[in-house]
Chain A
């Protein structure tokens, strides 16, 4: 199309100008007139299309706000797993940014790492991998998340799947041992065991099972035995001082971050509530020995459900835009999660549930469209043709 030269189409829009002082006659601040323009002084005002005012929010503002809302989770993971969690996260963030910059450079796109989307992907990807993985692993995940899933699909806004989860899924498929045997128990700071977690050889010694693994393979009895009663389980899972992925352990802090994002108007309740509600309901019905004996609260607080529901499902790019579609999307994620957890091969299913529902997002956008203010009396011309 002749209006657009480059991918970002900046050609027609903004004539950003500098206001040269020679254009004004100084003290009286009077504007030059046509005659003066004819003498060779061109008009110097910015000319762009309406509207001329904008709401304050920006893409990068959203990305950085979401990243900032994860700081409490990050701090807890440092307390929980030692500096290892922070180092893995930093490696993940830096590799995502570097991979994105290299891809954009190679593809001739403007370098847009400052928009914060790669940083957020890096944080989220680190948060869904175990703290005990080798340090090079997140860098490999970044290639899958950013290069394959994002930049090859057209860059920000064009990816089908959530980049962080693609990174995780790739690592799970390629390095299953590292990804499942690298669980680290909480740091006992009184024994100052920090060195243990920084030493690369110490990983096997500290591997342990996650709560959902115990629940799936040994039942609720084994879980309560290990943690000491349902109330203790709820408390530990809510506070987050337990083994698990770097950023998944504390449901409480994730909930706090999610509520912060809702207050800031970045996410709405639709996806988190429908996702979590579906998991709770289906676990209660089908999760126990017989019907209606499941433990919905354990299912909701454990695994990556809270992080998935508040931070992965709500990714603008890969979730439906209409509220109605979002509710269906959330219910789908919930259904698939319970299905994988109860009948699938993994103890935890949120990541795959979200990735599967991401495939349905374009269809949900097609099916759930806004209601017209007042539709035309006749069908549009194109439909008649």
Chain B
């Protein structure tokens, strides 16, 4: 299968996927307590609807967002609310969170399957909303909002992101391999919600087994409802899974700067999100479990784990047998775009796609030097921006003058900083430039 790709830029980091790609998803038992931050999504933090010492059931709503952009949060365990207080968060410093002490006696909740085809598009959309589903790739945009494009947008294609271009991460790969039918059915549910007929699943060519499994599942389901679901192989290149690059790769449409995918008639969803949508539609099961990759060479045992949302990393680490002595950095997310965490007591949230425990051979903590104008960042930038210029302006205290270089089109993929021989933190410079422009008016 010939792979398609985006027109410019991109890098080929070492994949390190061999650590976990062969490991089947295993379920981690519920921990003694879970910490559910009220902000696990893009938008306003949710407001708790439970009180301290109140008993909650697995899957019960504990926080909602009524007016603003956001997503409902459910309890991931059966137990008692121990506290509602600020706790460390993987991407923010601290965040108000509901702490629930698990009742170890409680049996796991059972869900009865039902036929989603009997439901209308609106009913399915309501289920997605009630299940508190957000984009599970990392940004956490509420899915029900994404699935309600403005009426002016003429959406005709659903793109499913199976690129998983970040090194180390293998959860989407395992999901596609182990549950391809559910993912494809999730795509069909999405097509019904959107009222369109065309779905494309893009998978990088380094996962031939996943392409194969998904192809089989897609062919089996093809023809029903007149919808076509098609699997497309893509060249292995980071950031193949970025929304704009993915859309170009699969449909040859370019989302203009400042635009959104529905401007070119496309909606993008993640593999894990499709699975969550399938579970919400067929089982009416809310999103409170998360499949994530725990990898890196500084953890005793690597794994693809299905964990309760709110499980603390310290519990996961204990479950996986601890870390090695040469642990240098813990990263929530992939190594290219993830956040380094300074505290092990942060919970796994809905958007956690993986947690990496890196030793000194795997990560880079060297200090940086001056720009030597090699131009490698310009070649690596998939958006055609000028990372080195932005950095020089920011260093000179002129960050507010960098808008002409298109800093707001920068989605912080990190390709520029990855190739930089002077190890300059070009992504951070771009972030500072954005702050400076916003501050300047």
Contact = CB atoms under 8 A, between A and B. Distances in A.
B351 to A, nearest CB: 15
A316 B329 contact: no
A45 B375 contact: no
Given A19-B325, A33-B314, A376-B409, A53 B372 contact: no
Interface of A: 1, 3-4, 8-10, 12-14, 16, 19, 21, 24, 28-34, 37, 43, 45-55, 57-59, 61-62, 112, 115, 155-158, 316-317, 319-322, 369-378, 380-383
Nearest to B253: A374
B432 A374 contact: no
Contacts of A57: 419, 421
27 contacts: A4-B397, A16-B365, A21-B325, A31-B314, A31-B323, A34-B88, A43-B343, A46-B340, A48-B329, A48-B365, A50-B412, A52-B331, A52-B335, A53-B335, A54-B423, A55-B419, A59-B372, A62-B421, A112-B369, A157-B370, A316-B373, A321-B375, A321-B388, A370-B386, A371-B8, A374-B244, A377-B256
A31 B313 CA distance: 10
Contacts of A59: 369, 372, 421-422
Given A115-B369, A373-B384, A48 B336 contact: no
Given A1-B397, A50-B427, A19 B326 contact: yes
A52 B338 contact: yes
B367 A19 contact: no
Report whether over half of chain A's contact residues are helix, strand or loop; otherwise say mixed: loop
A34 B418 CA distance: 33
Contact of B365 (A14, A373, A382): A14
Nearest to A28: B322
B403 A382 contact: yes
Interface string B282-324: 0000000000000000001000000000000010011001111
B383 A372 contact: yes
Contacts of A370: 8, 378, 381, 384-386
Interface of B: 6-9, 11, 13-14, 88, 167, 244-245, 248, 254-259, 300, 314, 317-318, 321-331, 335-345, 356, 358, 362-375, 378, 381-386, 388, 394-395, 397, 399, 401, 403-404, 406, 408-409, 412, 414, 417-423, 425, 427-428, 431-432, 436-437
Nearest to A326: B375
Contacts of B421: 55, 57-59, 61-62
A29 B324 contact: yes
Contacts of A322: 375, 378
Given A4-B397, A37-B343, A373-B244, 9 more contacts: A8-B368, A8-B370, A45-B340, A51-B414, A52-B331, A52-B335, A57-B419, A57-B421, A115-B369
A61 B372 CA distance: 13
Contacts of A374: 244, 254-257, 259
Contacts of A381: 403
Contact of A45 (B9, B342, B399): B342
B411 to A, nearest CB: 10
Contacts of B368: 8-10, 13
A29 B362 CA distance: 19
A53 B14 contact: yes
B409 A31 contact: no
